[in-house]
Amino acid sequence: MDEKTKPEVMAQINHQPPLFKGWMDAPVDIKPGIFCYAGKPQNLKYVDLPNPREWSPLDKDWKLPSNWKEIILEGLRERLERFRSLKIFMDICVRCGACADKCHFFIGSGDPRNMPVLRAELLRSVYRREFTKAGKILGKFAGARDLDYNVLKEWWYYFFQCSECRRCSIFCPYGIDTAEITIIARELLNLIGLNTDWIAAPVANCYRTGNHLGIQPHAYKDMIDFFLDDIEEITGVRAEPSFNRKGAEILFVTPSGDVFADPGTYTCMGYLILFHYLQNLGLDLTWSTFASEGGNFGYFTSHEMAKRLNAKMYAEAKRLGVKWILGGECGHMWRVINQYMDTFNGPADFLEEPVSPITGTKFENAKTTKMVHITEFTADLIKNNKLKLDKSRNDNLKVTFHDSCNPARGMGLLEEPRYIIKNTCNHFYEMPENTIREQTFCCGSGSGLNAGENMELRLRGGLPRANAVKYVNEKFGVNMLACVCAIDRAVFPALMDYWVPGVGVTGVHELVSNALILEGEKQRETNLRGEPLPGMEEGEEDV
């Protein structure tokens, strides 16, 4: 046991707040395991981000421009004028504390600066000092402080410990959205070259090749070809998707994580199987090897970068002459589409209001963006009895559903995934009410925090979500966590292995394709992962 955590040492901790000293007096302590590595110069250079250089957060000198303070304060002044919400959020917090214990990072770490109210106060204290009379005159007594090197380091450390999940905002009586404050703080930090490489590298890759992983178009297609081989082996049916096909009715865009990382790859196979099934019913859809990413790490850098990376979806839709866009299971991709895309890259008046070619349903909610979430599309197919499904093929699974923060709180996508799961699986169990839907707990790794070097932060931040999974695991024997986000699919396996071993992770369309009965298919013996289907276990032993 660590010397510091021995019960006799812990018992001596004085819990009384120190007299005349507050959080502002405690210097930031940057700990390995909590932060992501600094952005590499080549990645910053690729997209013209300022101050590219080698540096480490553990260095004393972060190699900043000599006028860094002026740059940040001017950036803050400009944003206070541009974003009325920021100005309001800076002024109206009454420090009631209703948000304090709602952040998964605070719950998992116990670090007071991870309380949403205090995270926002890191910026608000400087705002008061520089932009309010009370702060200028009364200083610390008005909760104001100067922006110095220590404060700047504190900003970098803690604004990259917020996953911009917005859970805190739904508990705030004033609707203060700390995620929006984090977004602005990260923009300010980027003005002087303070970023992380787990964000800067995907941004540069996305700008170069169209996706975060830097996959070239031919490699993207190769990967899909591998999936087609696997699908044929499992189902006996060969799907034949098209790529970059001009004149198709629908363009499909999904996060690249689904194409290159398990278990997201099974979700991708799920899309391919579904689209093949629908071809005979009139689906005319193309994939793109250029708009090969729905996610947008630019959003974790600045609004301008998000806009720049997002533009490719509409540009590709225009080039191919499609009528509308169908989007895959992703988290922040949908927040950007739902909340920003119209003003970032629209109006998309060269596209048409999406109508399902199979059911004739008009997706009026997508009237302006012209983009439909695949769970909306599939739920509509099920509701109109267009899919032949054998739920028993998922009988080995006891499934629960994690509402990914962005689709849930950023676009209100709550019912469609549940409707699909209930129609493709016989065993579905909800986690406790205060951990799902709008109140869902973050995976702990969103907004570009899904690196390896900050695993301690991720496991701490993911604790509340894992705890709720553990509850249904112990109570109902849940063994599968379903979600509609590529980051979730990438990060949950490690979180589950650590906190709730034995629980797997899946996308919703993997469940759909397991249950979907294809015309001309052979008797399926395994699911897409090559595991025996219920009732086929003996066959496996024979093999």
174 contributes a contact to ligand SF4 by CB under 6 A: yes
Tell the smallest beta-carbon distance from residue 169 to ligand SF4 (Å): 7
98 contributes a contact to ligand SF4 by CB under 6 A: yes
Which regions of 238-284 does DSSP assign to beta strands (E)?
250-253
Interface size with ligand SF4, residues (CB under 6 A): 27
Answer for which of 38, 86, 168, 305 binds ligand SF4 (CB under 6 A) is: 168
123 contributes a contact to ligand SF4 by CB under 6 A: no
Query: Using CA atoms, how far apart are residues 71 and 280, in angstroms rounded to an integer?
Result: 58
- 408-447 residues near ligand SF4, rule: CB under 6 A: 442
DSSP state of 341: I
What torsion do the CA atoms of 479, 408, 297, 494 make, to the nearest 10 degrees?
Answer: -20
Q: In what order do the strands lie in the sheet with 399-401?
A: 399-401, 480-483, 504-507
Shorter beta-carbon distance to ligand SF4: residue 117 or 253: 117
Shorter beta-carbon distance to ligand SF4: residue 40 or 102: 102
166 contributes a contact to ligand SF4 by CB under 6 A: yes
Shorter beta-carbon distance to ligand SF4: residue 94 or 517: 94
Answer for which of 64, 122, 126, 162 binds ligand SF4 (CB under 6 A) is: 162
**Which pair of tokens denotes residue 154?**
């504190």
Shorter beta-carbon distance to ligand SF4: residue 256 or 404: 404
164 contributes a contact to ligand SF4 by CB under 6 A: yes
Shorter beta-carbon distance to ligand SF4: residue 99 or 496: 99
117 contributes a contact to ligand SF4 by CB under 6 A: yes
103 contributes a contact to ligand SF4 by CB under 6 A: yes
93 contributes a contact to ligand SF4 by CB under 6 A: yes
Shorter beta-carbon distance to ligand SF4: residue 93 or 421: 93
116 contributes a contact to ligand SF4 by CB under 6 A: yes
**Which pair of tokens denotes residue 293?**
């990413």
The secondary structure of 12-50, three-state, reads CCCCCCCCCCCHHHCCCCCCCCCCCCECCHHHHHHCCCC
Contact at 8 Å (CB) between 259 and 209? no
Query: Using CA atoms, how far apart are residues 513 and 272, in angstroms rounded to an integer?
Result: 9
Rounded alpha-carbon distances, angstroms, from residue 401 to 406, 466, 492: 14, 12, 12
485 contributes a contact to ligand SF4 by CB under 6 A: no
Tell the smallest beta-carbon distance from residue 166 to ligand SF4 (Å): 5
460 contributes a contact to ligand SF4 by CB under 6 A: no
* Cβ neighbour number for residue 7 with a 10 Å cutoff: 7
Strand partners, 480: 399, 504
Closest CA to 297 of 287, 313, 308: 308
190 contributes a contact to ligand SF4 by CB under 6 A: no
88 contributes a contact to ligand SF4 by CB under 6 A: no
Tell the smallest beta-carbon distance from residue 518 to ligand SF4 (Å): 41
96 contributes a contact to ligand SF4 by CB under 6 A: yes
Q: Which residues contact 19 (CB under 8 A, 6 or more apart)?
A: none
- Give the up-direction half-sphere exposure of residue 12: CA atoms within 13 A in the CB hemisphere: 6
Which residues lie near ligand SF4 (CB under 6 A)?
A: 93-99, 102-103, 105, 116-117, 119, 162-168, 172, 174, 176, 178-179, 182, 442
